[in-house]
Chains A and B, each alone.
Chain A
């Protein structure tokens, strides 16, 4: 596993940060972002895919009342692909019985989808060698988050109560004083420690967090990040070609 990985540094892979507005569609935005990224990496084509089709055509009715990433991937398989955002744009509300998939060309499609092991090392390896992954986390600490690396404990962020889907796009490491609060007060420089982190794309607009992104500590299953790591696969299962994530 390379020391750092950030798919945002490769053109055509990560699309712009979306904003759910008052529609509970993090699951659809994360799934669409995952397929966009894999399509960009594999076919070097930048696509922006229709979240609205996932909301209108899913098997669970009103997609704005929440959902699951695996249902989004099932919808893409059932419809033999997904329309572009341009053809089938996001409306901020679902029309469950008005699926227009058949009216629009498929802009991208998937072979299947998989859930990865609940192991941060293996998730990092897949992220670096295959591409971004959707994850589901406990969003409790995100409401007031502004920047930096969130490092929580199971008490401050229960890893079993996962309720928000986001897209894992990279990882890295930063430095910080051993105790940043003491460090701030002390005159002499405090010993420093390195903090490994995940980079995640949220769907609450670019004015939230670090331009729509946030970072979670990597290595202690902060906020349940390892519980549901799912990704589509756009490649036919042939001999693996290696891709490498830009540093």
Chain B
């Protein structure tokens, strides 16, 4: 669950236990120990970032473990960002009259 609602219990779950729960919940497996270690490190970073997002949020949002918690920002952006814009507004706003516009 999200960080806020996570029951602290006698002691917070170890990171590896949380990661194992993530793997079970989202059916993740890794091909070798190096890949596992790398994904665990990414997972830890994402959890830390989720904590920070929750502190910064001015609404009621809760952040935490999601299906993307073992992905880097780059992997996530590649998978889900719309990319054609590559982060800049499309030139649909170009004012009529510029020569390229007339061509197109």
Chain A residues engaging chain B, CB cutoff 8 angstroms:
20, 22, 24, 26-27, 60, 65-68, 70, 136, 139, 141, 143-153, 156, 160-165, 174, 176, 180-181, 184, 195, 197, 204-205, 207-209, 215, 217, 227
A180 and B84 contact, Cβ closer than 8 Å, known pairs A143-B71, A145-B66: no
Cβ–Cβ contact A20 & B60, under 8 A: no
B58/A204 in contact, CB under 8 A: no
Contact among A151, A184, A215, A227 for B89, CB-based, below 8 A: A227
Q: Give the residues in chain B near A205, CB-CB below 8 Å.
A: 67
Interface size on B, residues (CB 8 A): 39
- B-side contacts of A151, CB under 8 Å: 57-61
Residues of A within 8 A of B92 (CB): 70
Which B residue sits closest to A64, measured CB to CB?
Answer: B83
Could you list 16 examples of A-B contacts with CB < 8 Å? A24-B82, A24-B83, A66-B82, A67-B82, A143-B71, A145-B63, A146-B2, A146-B62, A148-B57, A148-B60, A161-B87, A163-B85, A165-B82, A174-B60, A180-B60, A208-B67
- Per-residue CB proximity of B58-97 to A under 8 Å, as 1/0? 1111111111110101001101111111011110100000
A215 to chain B, nearest CB (A): 8
B31 to chain A, nearest CB (A): 18
Residues of B within 8 A of A145 (CB): 61-63, 66
By secondary structure, the B interface counts as: loop
Assess the B82–A176 pair: CB atoms within 8 A: no
**Contact: A150 with B82, CB < 8 Å?**
no
Q: Check B81 against A163 for contact (C-beta < 8 Å).
A: yes
Contact of A68 among B61, B67, B68, B84 (CB under 8 A): B84
Complex contacts, B65 vs chain A, CB 8 Å: 146
Determine the chain A residues whose CB is within 8 A of the CB of B76 once the complex forms. 143
What distance in Å separates the Cβ of A156 from its nearest Cβ neighbour in chain B? 6
Q: Which residue on chain B has the smallest CB distance to residue A26?
A: B82
| 4 nearest CB pairs, A to B | A151-B59, A66-B83, A66-B84, A149-B59
Query: Does B49 count as interface, using CB distance less than 8 angstroms?
Result: yes
Query: Is B61 within 8 A of A150, CB to CB?
Result: yes
Chain A residues lying within 8 Å of B81, measured Cβ to Cβ, are 24, 66, 139, 163-164
Residues of B within 8 A of A65 (CB): 83-84
Would you call A144 and B59 a contact (CB within 8 A)? no
Q: Is the CB of A66 within 8 A of B56?
A: no
Chain A, Cβ-Cβ closest to B69: A144
CB–CB B67/A207 < 8 A: yes
Contacts of B35 in A (CB 8 A): none
- B53 CB contacts on chain A under 8 angstroms: 141, 144, 156
B1 touches A146 (CB 8 A): yes
